[in-house]
Amino acid sequence: MTRAAWITGAGKGIGRSLALRLAADGWRVAVSARTEADLLSLAAEAERLHGAVAPHPLDVADEAAVARVLDAIEDGSGPLDLVVLNAGTHIPVAAAQFSAKPFRKLMEVNFFGVVHGLAAVLPRMIERGHGRIAVVASVSGYRGLPTAAAYGATKAALINMCEALKPELDRSGVRLTLINPGFVETPLTDRNDFPMPFLISAEKAADRIVRGLERGAFEITFPRRFTFLLKLARCLPYALYFRLTGRISRQ
């Protein structure tokens, strides 16, 4: 029986590579992003690789639109086995140019974009008693990092939310997975003007995600060496941690 998946933020980067990987593996894949041209080029690329994806343009910040797209997807392909809530963006925030605007923008897309997806998908999966939802956060949600005050806050909120939801969803039969990538080659990281340790390709990231989903992991994180170091950083006392991040912010 063919499995069905929906991926948001699939126009570029990790979402696009994951869509291509699942389609090549025989999944029926619905994809969403704000830019329709990106989705059409993704569909053409999937077809060349002998897979297929169904484009559904969407702004995840629009809750009603998220619900409409989910209706359209399940009307066309039946109940979804996997939903990957991946849409997100990044705006650096420096203390000298601090304002509320980037925080509001990133919360609408990165956090509420996921909340809107969960609000639409969870009632259906809970009623069916099965399904898997994967939420893409980031290792930047582990601790505060220079210039990531807004971005990291949205990702920390996603991590906390998923940790809170998991026990209850386990009892309902719905599996929740949290994906925390480190540095991955995407159009977003292409803007960075600082060194990105252990940078991996979006294709490798998609492979790590697929393997993590197959083994039923709650947290999928990569690249392992980098994320291990950041997990250790969560245990550092503030005096030492700020010494380290202070050096980063001066670079």
Q: Is 222 helix (H, G, I), strand (E, B) or coil?
A: strand
Tokens at 212, concatenated: 């993590």
Beta pairing, strands 82-85 & 4-7 = parallel
The C-alpha atoms of residue 45 and residue 4 are separated, in whole angstroms, by: 19
Residue 151 bears catalytic tag: yes
Looking up tokens 């041209």, which residue turns up?
Answer: 37
Q: Of the listed 142, 151, 238, 241, which one is catalytic? A: 151
The C-alpha atoms of residue 231 and residue 251 are separated, in whole angstroms, by: 22
Q: Is 223 helix (H, G, I), strand (E, B) or coil?
A: coil
For the chain, the first-to-last Cα distance in angstroms comes to 53
Which amino acids are annotated catalytic? 151
